[in-house]
Amino acid sequence: MTKAILSERAKKAMKNEISRFPYLETGGLLLGYYHENDDVLHVMEATDGGYHKVIHEEIAFQYDVDYVTHVCDILIHLYEPELQIIGLWHKHNQQCKVHFSLADEKMHDQLLEMSNHPCLSILYEKTAEDEYDVLIFLLDNNQCIQIEE
């Protein structure tokens, strides 16, 4: 089974973005490496969702594509070998029986179409105690399977 390893920097970036938008949805992309021999997705960086053209609403989020493309291009080239887009993350401000909306599933499909390896979807889901459960999902072969870090 594919494993996920998240760097402390990526975790901190996601938590920072969540704290900036406590009552609105937010998210970003995950950059890192897929180590096929070990079947590990190693997340090195997590982006925010954007600046001017981003949509943060109570129950919806949409990336600023130009901004995220720009930030990813900078981060990818800071590493040797270069990072790859290996997933996405976002938060929900409510508990849901179904973790992902149709819009989320469409983003998953787009991510897998541009990748030649499995990807991750990390979901921060608000609990009844106003904290967040961190749920990690493996996206592969049109399947979405919850995994552990």
Tell me the average confidence (pLDDT) per consecutive run of 10 residues in the chain, 149 residues long. 93 95 92 91 95 86 90 96 94 75 78 87 87 91 85
Name which of 149, 123, 102, 95 is nearest 28 in CA terms. 123
Per-residue model confidence (pLDDT) at position 62 = 86
Q: How many residues does the chain have?
A: 149
pLDDT for res 83: 97
Residue range(s) defining the domain that contains residue 94: 3-147
| Contact assessment for residue 49 and residue 27, using Cβ atoms and an 8 Å cutoff | yes
Give the chain's domain count: 1
**Residues 73-102: tens digit of each pLDDT:** 999 999 999 999 999 999 987 776 667 777
CA atoms within 13 A on the CB side of 61: 26
Q: What's the pLDDT at 128?
A: 81
CATH of the domain at 101: 3.40.140.10
Q: Hey, what's the torsion of the CAs at 88, 5, 148, 93, to 10 degrees? A: -40
Report pLDDT for 113: 86
Do 30 and 10 contact (CB within 8 A), yes or no? yes
Confidence (pLDDT) at 11: 97
Cis, peptide link before residue 118, omega less than 30° from 0: no
